[in-house]
Structure 1
Amino acid sequence: MVAILDVPPPPRAPHMTPTPFPLPAFDDNYIWLLPAHGGRGAVVVDPGDAAPVLAAADAGGWRPQAVLLTHHHGDHIGGVAALRARWPDLHVVAPDDRRIPVASQRVGDGDRVEAAGHAFDVLAVPGHTVSHIAFHGHGLLFCGDTLFSLGCGRLFEGTPAQMLASLDRLAALPGDTLVCCGHEYTQSNAAFARAVDPDNPALARRSEEVTTLRNDSLPTLPVTLGDERACNPFLRVDAPAVRAAVAAWSGDGDLSRVGAFAALRRWKDGFRA
């Protein structure tokens, strides 16, 4: 895992977009820290645990100015109360879901959020949960558990059609967008992706890169959306190789687009490398 003391300094020039930094939490979560433009403020995304944020603040002199929450699961919101205990005026932006009682501002699709000098567009991306949102701005995408590197979230509340539409929406963003998702699942996702799409050279390269990074205990994120479009089977439902693999696994060669995505998700749910 990445050491807390490796949190980068603020950018040297005020106009430069700071680099988002993943703080490890629990077994495989990432809490994202995005420095403000100058100073020692920061945006914190999905702090399921306060401890990594408090440690980063103590080690580097950081102060959270805003928290962005993508969905209501405890491993994404559980640390907010402790952060507010230390910083009572901490502004918390969340989807319009009463299962998130800690929100000071509730937002939905099409809203625009200002946080620590950054501006983000809010995108509704239901599927993993019905109220899941993502934040997009400055070439960054904080997408929670909707899109993972080489994978996507489980369908706990939404439908396959909703999740596919959400992924289509994210995939349409610029290719140089940096995907900052909520979990370090990339290595296990790569094993499944290779089973689905074994002859994809871009996927082979990404899989090797991921193995090297994880062997060195380094994060595989962020990753560009362009790379994900080339490698992630859940963004490649229309690719002939992926459709053929799904047809072979499901025994149904006449699946609709949504049906193929649903089968691919079921395949992943039961997959063991």
Structure 2
Amino acid sequence: MGGWQSMFGVISGRLPNCVTQAAVATYFRVSAFRKLGFRGTHSIQTRQQGEKMQIQILPALSDNYMYLLVDEKSKETAVVDPVEPDTVLRAIKDAGLNLTTVLITHHHWDHAGGNKALLAKAPGLTVLGGDSRYLYIYKSSSLYFSVCLSSIHPVILQVSIQYTLSYFRLVFTTPCHTSGHICYYVTDENQKERIVFTGDTLFLGGCGRFFEGTAEQMFTALIEKLSALPDITKVYSGHEYALQNLAYGEHVEPENQYIKDKIQWCRAQRESVPPIPTVPSTIAEEKLINPFMRVQKPAVQAHAKSTDDIEVMRALRTEKDNFKSKK
């Protein structure tokens, strides 16, 4: 969720939830049409094929991503942040998959706003998430809300969420962008394939705004939790923000060649016809190109004029909130 927060803040405190959500939905749909016109999508759908797992990338709205997580053996499938249910169900039908599970990273409409319609069209799905605020969006007798993770202490949960998909999972509570934000870390049974769905906590080259949290919380999420994942872990974030983020990264570290190279690669992806998603990145890449993952590096600290990790995180986010690329 990006630059509409001022409008949302004005209306959300004065109107009933149903009216607020309708206004937000209209805003996102109009914004997508203004940006994309009748083309209808910001990127081509792509598929990342693993030995045991398949990820299908489904573009949505003006810059969102939804994801299908597919068990190659059983064809059972989870969908992450299905804001456009018709797109999801069409992809499920075309590929002959069995949708069983919905994974929600946070309550913002552009991630959770499709839940009610999806459950109406595909009753009986298991829905996992970390914030009770989106229950009002998908009030439905068919809803099985199996766990509300916001009540759990914000550490890595050393447990497996057991449901129909056969993978081991760690669920990260990552409050900051929203107080109930969570990330999903997924591996196969042999832990050879590793992926993480980060919603609006970690983007390629950036991080989410601190709408409901603090620099301390984002430091915990990025440096203490996500950075601790294996370097090979593929990062699937909630938006196509790569070039905007990397422009800021180059502003922070103008001599960082990794950032320059990644900008060229991302630009080639986005200038393709149709544009190709820049996701996924990897944890290893983020440690090289993402200033919010590099708050302990001397060059980033010099830019922020502080050697305190939390203050660096705070200074970067404050500057990024108002940053305009000169290129």
Residues 81 and 32 of structure 1: is their aligned pair in 2 closer, same or farther, counting only changes over 3 Å?
Answer: same
Equivalent of 1:240 in 298, 306, 312: 298
Question: Which residue type is aligned with residue 63 of structure 2?
Answer: D
What secondary structure, in the 3-state scheme, does the structure 2 residue paired with 1:184 have? Answer: coil
1:209 aligns with 2:265: yes
Equivalent of 1:53 in 65, 76, 88: 88
Identity over aligned pairs, percent: 36
What secondary structure, in the 3-state scheme, does the structure 2 residue paired with 1:112 have? Answer: coil
Which residue of the partner structure matches residue 160 of structure 1? 215
What secondary structure, in the 3-state scheme, does the structure 1 residue paired with 2:262 have? Answer: helix
Q: Distance in 2 between matches of 1:29 and 1:266?
A: 23
Which residue of the partner structure matches residue 62 of structure 1? 97
What secondary structure, in the 3-state scheme, does the structure 2 residue paired with 1:114 have? Answer: coil
Equivalent residues of 2:168, 2:186 under 8 A apart: yes
What secondary structure, in the 3-state scheme, does the structure 2 residue paired with 1:218 have? Answer: coil
CA deviations over 1:52-95 (Å, ceiling 9, x no partner): 20221233233311111111111111112222122211111111
State the 4+ residue runs in structure 1 displaced beyond 6 angstroms. Answer: none
Which residue of the partner structure matches residue 162 of structure 2? 114
Q: Distance in 2 between matches of 1:107 and 1:164?
A: 23
- The TM-score normalised by the length of structure 2 is 0.75
Which residue of the partner structure matches residue 277 of structure 2? 219
Equivalent residues of 1:7, 1:56 under 8 A apart: no
Aligned pairs, number: 260
CA deviations over 1:172-229 (Å, ceiling 9, x no partner): 1110000011001011111111111111111111111111111110000011110110
What secondary structure, in the 3-state scheme, does the structure 2 residue paired with 1:238 have? Answer: coil
CA RMSD of aligned residues (A): 1.8
Equivalent residues of 1:20, 1:32 under 8 A apart: yes
Equivalent of 2:246 in 179, 190, 197: 190
Question: Which residue type is aligned with residue 132 of structure 2?
Answer: R
What secondary structure, in the 3-state scheme, does the structure 2 residue paired with 1:113 have? Answer: coil
Once the two structures are TM-superposed, the CA of residue 107 in structure 1 deviates from its matched residue by 4.1
Which residue of the partner structure matches residue 110 of structure 2? 75
Stretches of structure 1 that go unaligned for 5 or more consecutive residues are 248-253
Which residue of the partner structure matches residue 25 of structure 2? none
Question: Which residue type is aligned with residue 210 of structure 2?
Answer: L
Q: Which moved more, 1:86-95 or 1:49-58?
A: 49-58
Question: Which residue type is aligned with residue 121 of structure 1?
Answer: L
Stretches of structure 2 that go unaligned for 5 or more consecutive residues are 1-41, 139-143, 150-154, 188-193
- The TM-score normalised by the length of structure 1 is 0.89
Q: Distance in 2 between matches of 1:99 and 1:175?
A: 33
Residues 175 and 23 of structure 1: is their aligned pair in 2 closer, same or farther, counting only changes over 3 Å?
Answer: same
Q: Which moved more, 1:46-55 or 1:148-157?
A: 46-55
Once the two structures are TM-superposed, the CA of residue 233 in structure 1 deviates from its matched residue by 0.5
Question: Which residue type is aligned with residue 191 of structure 1?
Answer: A
Residues 89 and 161 of structure 1: is their aligned pair in 2 closer, same or farther, counting only changes over 3 Å?
Answer: same
CA deviations over 1:125-159 (Å, ceiling 9, x no partner): 11111111111121110111000010000000011
> Higher relative contact order at CA 8 Å, sep ≥6: structure 1 or structure 2?
1
Equivalent residues of 1:190, 1:207 under 8 A apart: yes
Equivalent residues of 2:184, 2:198 under 8 A apart: yes
Equivalent residues of 1:164, 1:261 under 8 A apart: yes
Once the two structures are TM-superposed, the CA of residue 7 in structure 1 deviates from its matched residue by 4.9
Question: Which residue type is aligned with residue 262 of structure 2?
Answer: R
Q: Distance in 1 between matches of 2:105 and 2:162?
A: 15
Which residue of the partner structure matches residue 134 of structure 2? 100
Equivalent residues of 1:37, 1:117 under 8 A apart: no
What secondary structure, in the 3-state scheme, does the structure 2 residue paired with 1:104 have? Answer: strand
Equivalent of 2:70 in 27, 30, 35: 35
Which residue of the partner structure matches residue 129 of structure 1? 178
